[in-house]
Amino acid sequence: MDAASQLPPSTTRHARIRVWLHSLRPNTLPLSCAAIVSGSALAAWRHAFSPGVALLALATATLLQILCNLANDYGDVCKGADAVGRIGPVRGLHTGAITLAQMRRALWLCGLLTVLCGSGLIAVAVRDPGAIATFALLGLLAIAAALGYTLGRHAYGYLGLGDVAVLVFFGWVGVAGGYALQTGSLDASVFWPATASGLLAAAVLTINNLRDIESDPLAGKKTLAVRLGPQGARRYHALLIGTALLCLALFTAFTLRHWSGWLFLLSAPPWIRLARQVLREPSTQAMRPLLMPTVRTVLLTHLLFVVGLLCTC
């Protein structure tokens, strides 16, 4: 009998809804949206902003992250990474409130919606046959990356390659891809903020992996944090933050060349405080409360960058 079925009948439906919403990890969804918003702001800076394309890109990115989150739960449970003793939040699949069969159906549904939304995005935004093929291939790769993080015998998240995927899809594809869909071209300069976006998303992943650095190896999950070790991973986290801010500074100094472009520096103090906390706290338990402040600071950085861009329009 699953956990939700043991609740009183009047609350069972609501309990199931809460369990599923929890499995979507709504607190992390703004990360993918922030990348699209930054790409759209860059398009507006080039006077090529398209509201319809931006909304479809937001929907597609959100569905992709939901697909990845659900697949992550499924893969981790099947491989034992969500075993007892894990510090992170316990998911419905682990407690039995969601069955493996139900999660498989949810993955198929989310995958189908992602394909439909992504196809609509390409149909609306792209006209050139070569560009259509390129974006279709990127979309298929994004779906494969969402599923392949923890699923399969050679899940790349278990090999320490999750950070690379985050850089590519939360940075280069999200920001530069969103920009290209709206402008119809690709400017090399946008890869500075795109790289910053990916690095900041990787900083969030590193906090998550530091939290699970003791339990992950027991399931054979060798994340980059596990490979670097506790202190190495903490220094790596600080390096990600510093490099991301440097990328934004280079874009502002050499491309934007406007005072408003430096607004992102207002996020530096909270980043410094977070980096110091991560370096100072030796326990894995101390990482859990730092996850949401890290997400909020990522969003603050994106917001300040977007405002700075729009001030030049």
For 157-169, the pLDDT digits (tens) are 999 999 999 999 9
Torsion angle of alpha carbons 59, 60, 64, 67, nearest 10°?
60
Residue range(s) defining the domain that contains residue 300: 29-310
Model confidence at 268, pLDDT cuts 50, 70, 90, reads: very high
Summarised one tens digit per residue, pLDDT across range 44-101 is 999 999 999 999 999 999 999 999 999 988 888 887 666 545 555 656 777 778 889 9
Asked if residue 3 has pLDDT above 60, the reply is no
Mean pLDDT of the chain: 91
Residue 241 in domain: yes
Taking alpha carbons only, the member of 131, 114, 109 closest to residue 122 is 131
Q: How confident is the model at residue 279 (pLDDT cuts 50, 70, 90)?
A: very high
The reply to whether 122 falls in a domain is yes
In a domain, 162, yes or no: yes
Q: What is the pLDDT of residue 81?
A: 61
Flag whether 17 is in a domain: no
Kindly report each contact of residues 140-145 with a partner whose C-beta sits within 8 Å and lies 24 or more positions away, as own/partner. Answer: 142/64, 142/118, 142/169, 142/173, 143/64, 143/67, 143/111, 143/114, 143/115, 145/68, 145/169
Rounded mean pLDDT, 177-206: 97
Residue 10 lies in a domain: no
Q: Is residue 2 part of a domain?
A: no
Domain tally for the chain?
A: 1
The 10s digit of each residue's pLDDT in 4-30 is 444 444 447 777 788 888 888 888 899
Q: Is residue 22 part of a domain?
A: no
Residue 299's identity, in one-letter code, is L
Query: Is residue 231 situated within a structural domain?
Result: yes
Nearest to 176 by CA among 40, 313, 55, 46: 40
pLDDT of residue 10: 42
